[in-house]
Structure 1
Amino acid sequence: MNQVQLRTLLAVIDEGGFDVAAAVLGVSPSAVSQRIRALEKSVGRVLVKRSTPPTPTHAGEVIVEAARRMALLEAETATRLDDRLSRVALSVAVNADSLATWLRPMLADIAADGRASLRLRIEDEAHTVALLRSGEVMAAITTDGSPVSGCEVTYLGSMRYVAVATPWLRDRYRVGDGIDWAQMPALRFGPNDALQDTDLEGRLAPEIPRDRRISHVPSSEAFVEACRVGLGWALLPELQAAPDLASGELVVLDADVLEVPLFWQRWRLKSRTLEVLTEAVTGAAAKALGTAPGS
């Protein structure tokens, strides 16, 4: 397969369009289209769905994954041969809660190493593994401990979530010693927020009708602020809720604690850059989540 064509395919998928890919590659949009058609002709398959944004077909996912592996190896080989640092984009799928809390030290570790750039994809931890399977990312934080084909898995630890709200919102929906969960407004991070979809399990019988308002706030910082001002109650990571619980701006609504196990899945590829990334992620998890690196 032609390396130029493979790089062009990655640009189209990663940048989300033929025109943007052309600008990034410094060529015309027609040149990008010609390269993609030539690549498709060489493999005898349609590789890109001409949608907005363009997405890989099943055959395209295979080629995209191969292209990422080749690009990483090519960049690292160039680094060794030329004795200089190459710009290696590490595509990684992470969940917003991890990035907003325990994962942040990883950014400093990658910056200090100086050999790689990051392309982070924010997705719910229950869905990141799909990006790994499709070849869109080379590593992911996920709740799935079963290794994707061609990947290795490391247990990171568990994130603990507690139900919290402002004191006045709790008092407004207090019923006796409990909470009127069917009526109390709630918060969602987004449509793929599987964690918040389970918020009523064990709190409200399935046959009781729900009549609550639900607000979607797809930003980790704004999500906490929405909870802090009383737009709704939410399941927040203990790590993230701790300052507001200590100040009294938020209160815990019940004694239930939801523990979500997290795993690090990465391509089984001998790569110094991937090793540095893995060490940074597992090291950050060990400090915040209480697991030994590599456990």
Structure 2
Amino acid sequence: MDILDPAALECLAALVDEGGFERAARRLSITQSAVSQRLRALETQVGQPLVVRSRPLRLTGSGQILLRYARQMQALHADVSRELGERGHTHERVPIAVNADSLATWVLPALQVLVDSGVSLELVVDDQDFTHEWLREGRVLGCVSTVSEALRGCRVTPLCVMRYVAVASPAFVGGQLGTAGLHRGNFAQLPFVVFNRKDDVQAQWVARAFGLPAPRLQQRFVPSAEAYVRAVALGWGIGVAAWPLVSRQVERGELQVLHPHVTIDIALHWHQWKLLGDAGIDSASGGRASLLDRIGAALASGARGLEPMLL
């Protein structure tokens, strides 16, 4: 196959990022007609459709393959710009997917050094069990995920273990739980605060605490890590939250840990695409780390800071 047009690949990535032709054209400062022409030319070159022109716009299997290639080209362009000393002059955004609890606790401080050096990051938030789908589809170049096995064409690095505990407000404990506390006979009648419909850590905790397979819970959804903790502190229900997210509230007496001996430990890993010619960091040879390697190293360093915070 002939060399693919970088401008056409850029159009494909912009279409996915922006969700349509009009917004992609604005991002690239070209006309919608030019976006369509570049996409058609790319489809003609590979001999396959790449985009399903629907709402929302979707990629075909071939489109996902080329999107991964386009992402790699974006990351390589950012690396070259950095090595040439073009700090702040590249407009390439590096998309990575992270889970909300990590984003609310340790990810931002970990990535600060990269932001200070001029790296443009785009953080995509999803449940830790689903972030790797963003990577598989080529929508991001790296992700923080519970998946421990590397996807094809990727490298994986262990990060940390996030420990989850059950908590409730003192008013909720004194009012709705009473002297009997939370037990096998009353959990189904009590509300649990849940992040979103993908979040099953509350059910995992109940199953472990009371030896029940697939327990059914009364759920109240709050899809924000910070607002989630606030809702639990206000008495909306029982929460099962990452310890780094609630440790201060527990210390201040705003939340109480329920059944402290029952915890859910979730191991997180960093996945990244292997870029063209990428063999990983070779410190012995003195080679310079790629941008994705630097992101992975920063996240690994930040994650290590969580170890003293585990119960």
TM over 0.5: yes
Give SS of 1:173's match: helix
Distance apart, 1:28 and its partner CA: 1.8
Separation (CA, whole Å) in 2 of partners of 1:208 and 1:88: 44
Of 103, 112, 130, the residue aligned with 1:108 is 112
The reply on whether 1:50 has 2:32 as its aligned counterpart is: no
Matches within 5 A, 1:21-36: 21-36=24-39
Identity %: 35
Separation (CA, whole Å) in 2 of partners of 1:177 and 1:119: 43
Kindly tell me: are residues 75 and 155 of structure 1, through their superposed partners in 2, closer, same or farther at Cα, counting changes over 3 Å? closer
User: Does the 8 Å contact 1:141/1:262 carry over to 2?
Assistant: yes
Instruction: Give the aligned partner of residue 249 of structure 1.
Output: 254
Distance apart, 1:38 and its partner CA: 2.0
User: Does the 8 Å contact 2:115/2:121 carry over to 1?
Assistant: no
Kindly tell me: are residues 178 and 84 of structure 1, through their superposed partners in 2, closer, same or farther at Cα, counting changes over 3 Å? closer
Instruction: Give the aligned partner of residue 200 of structure 1.
Output: 206
Give SS of 1:93's match: strand
Instruction: Give the aligned partner of residue 226 of structure 2.
Output: 221
Deviation string 1:210-263 (CA, Å, 9 cap, x unpaired) is 5x5311111111111111101111111111111111111111111211110111
The reply on whether 1:182 has 2:185 as its aligned counterpart is: no
Separation (CA, whole Å) in 1 of partners of 2:125 and 2:102: 10
User: Does the 8 Å contact 2:111/2:299 carry over to 1?
Assistant: no
How many aligned positions are there?
288
Separation (CA, whole Å) in 2 of partners of 1:8 and 1:100: 32
Kindly tell me: are residues 209 and 45 of structure 1, through their superposed partners in 2, closer, same or farther at Cα, counting changes over 3 Å? closer
Give SS of 1:201's match: helix
The reply on whether 1:126 has 2:129 as its aligned counterpart is: yes
Distance apart, 1:169 and its partner CA: 1.4
Separation (CA, whole Å) in 2 of partners of 1:196 and 1:246: 22
Q: What code does the residue aligned with 2:231 have?
A: A
Of 259, 264, 282, the residue aligned with 1:258 is 264
Separation (CA, whole Å) in 2 of partners of 1:176 and 1:208: 23
The reply on whether 1:62 has 2:65 as its aligned counterpart is: yes
Separation (CA, whole Å) in 2 of partners of 1:177 and 1:101: 29
Instruction: Give the aligned partner of residue 89 of structure 1.
Output: 93
Kindly tell me: are residues 165 and 48 of structure 1, through their superposed partners in 2, closer, same or farther at Cα, counting changes over 3 Å? same
User: Does the 8 Å contact 1:188/1:216 carry over to 2?
Assistant: yes
Unmatched tracts of structure 2, length 5 or more? 279-288
Runs ≥4 residues deviating over 4 A: 204-210
- In the superposition, the TM-score normalised over structure 1's length comes to 0.90
Kindly tell me: are residues 5 and 197 of structure 1, through their superposed partners in 2, closer, same or farther at Cα, counting changes over 3 Å? farther
The reply on whether 1:287 has 2:290 as its aligned counterpart is: no
Deviation string 1:149-176 (CA, Å, 9 cap, x unpaired) is 1111111120011000112212313462
Instruction: Give the aligned partner of residue 144 of structure 2.
Output: 141
User: Does the 8 Å contact 1:196/1:235 carry over to 2?
Assistant: yes
User: Does the 8 Å contact 1:126/1:143 carry over to 2?
Assistant: yes
User: Does the 8 Å contact 1:142/1:264 carry over to 2?
Assistant: yes
Separation (CA, whole Å) in 2 of partners of 1:202 and 1:209: 10
Deviation string 1:161-214 (CA, Å, 9 cap, x unpaired) is 10001122123134625432111101111122132342321234648985x531
Q: What code does the residue aligned with 1:103 have?
A: V
Q: What code does the residue aligned with 1:91 have?
A: P
Distance apart, 1:123 and its partner CA: 0.7
User: Does the 8 Å contact 1:182/1:208 carry over to 2?
Assistant: no
**Greater strand fraction, Structure 1 or Structure 2:** 1
- In the superposition, the TM-score normalised over structure 2's length comes to 0.86
User: Does the 8 Å contact 1:124/1:194 carry over to 2?
Assistant: no
Q: What code does the residue aligned with 1:263 have?
A: H
Unmatched tracts of structure 1, length 5 or more? none
Instruction: Give the aligned partner of residue 22 of structure 2.
Output: 19
Deviation string 1:15-71 (CA, Å, 9 cap, x unpaired) is 122111111111222222222222112111111122333121111110000111122
Q: What code does the residue aligned with 1:224 have?
A: V
